[in-house]
């Protein structure tokens, strides 16, 4: 075993730094973890946004430390903006209000299931609704692809 590794493991300064960093991470991420109870698909984006906002604060120092730090800072800022867009985006926001269906419920079948019946306000409403919804889904997918493209290409240069 390497003597330097042993010293790193028992060095009081390293122990203090690791403990301090661990407690700081618990405090920083705890509010986000506490709020999330469903663990749905957007949970990962909220945690990633929290991490990227921390990186965003560090990115200011990158410009002073190494050449190209301004490009990394710009990329982190773009990713933060894209994550905020993903989190606040709702595929349904592109649907015209007059196209929203009214929902009623049918009778219970022999298995105890109740069918939901959608009543559209006018004949073309269903088609407009689906087209508008698809437009929102497509836009959100483009935003996600751009986010992960930037992260795949640039995240190797980021550290917290």
pTM > 0.85:
no
Same domain, 67 and 139: yes
Short-list 57, 44, 54, 139, CA closest to 83: 44
Same domain, 27 and 69: no
Same domain, 73 and 143: yes
How far apart (Å, rounded) are the C-alpha atoms in residues 133 and 98? Answer: 14
Tokens 């219970």 identify what position? 108
User: What is the domain range of residue 119?
Assistant: 39-157
Predicted confidence at residue 91, as pLDDT, reads: 59
Same domain, 84 and 137: yes
Residue 113 is encoded by which pair of tokens?
């299931």
Same domain, 12 and 83: no
Same domain, 14 and 65: no
Predicted confidence at residue 92, as pLDDT, reads: 63
Are the CB atoms for 96 and 128 separated by under 8 Å?
yes
Predicted confidence at residue 60, as pLDDT, reads: 77
Predicted confidence at residue 4, as pLDDT, reads: 67
Same domain, 14 and 71: no
Same domain, 25 and 49: no
Same domain, 134 and 55: yes
Same domain, 101 and 126: yes
Tokens 């509010």 identify what position? 31
H-helix or E-strand spanning residue 87: helix 69-88
Total domains in the chain come to: 2
How far apart (Å, rounded) are the C-alpha atoms in residues 103 and 105? Answer: 7
pLDDT string in tens for the chain (160-residue length)? 577 677 677 777 777 888 888 898 888 888 888 887 766 777 888 889 998 998 888 777 777 776 666 778 888 899 999 999 888 876 567 777 787 888 788 788 888 888 888 888 888 888 888 888 888 889 999 999 999 999 999 888 777 6
Same domain, 3 and 73: no
């Amino acid at each position: 075993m390497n003597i330097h590794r042993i010293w790193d493991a028992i060095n009081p300064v390293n122990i203090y730094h690791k403990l301090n960093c661990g407690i700081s991470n618990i405090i920083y991420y705890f509010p986000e973890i506490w709020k999330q109870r469903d663990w749905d698909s957007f949970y990962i984006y909220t945690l990633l946004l929290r991490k990227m906002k921390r990186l965003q604060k560090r990115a200011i120092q990158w410009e002073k430390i190494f050449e190209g730090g301004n490009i990394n800072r710009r990329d982190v800022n773009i990713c933060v903006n894209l994550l905020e867009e993903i989190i606040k985006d709702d595929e349904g926001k592109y649907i015209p209000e007059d196209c929203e269906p009214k929902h009623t419920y049918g009778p219970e079948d022999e298995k105890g299931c109740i069918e939901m019946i959608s009543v559209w306000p006018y004949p073309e409403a269903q088609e407009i609704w689906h087209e508008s919804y698809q437009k929102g889904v497509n836009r959100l997918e483009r935003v996600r692809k751009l986010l992960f493209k930037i992260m795949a290409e640039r995240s190797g240069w980021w550290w917290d």
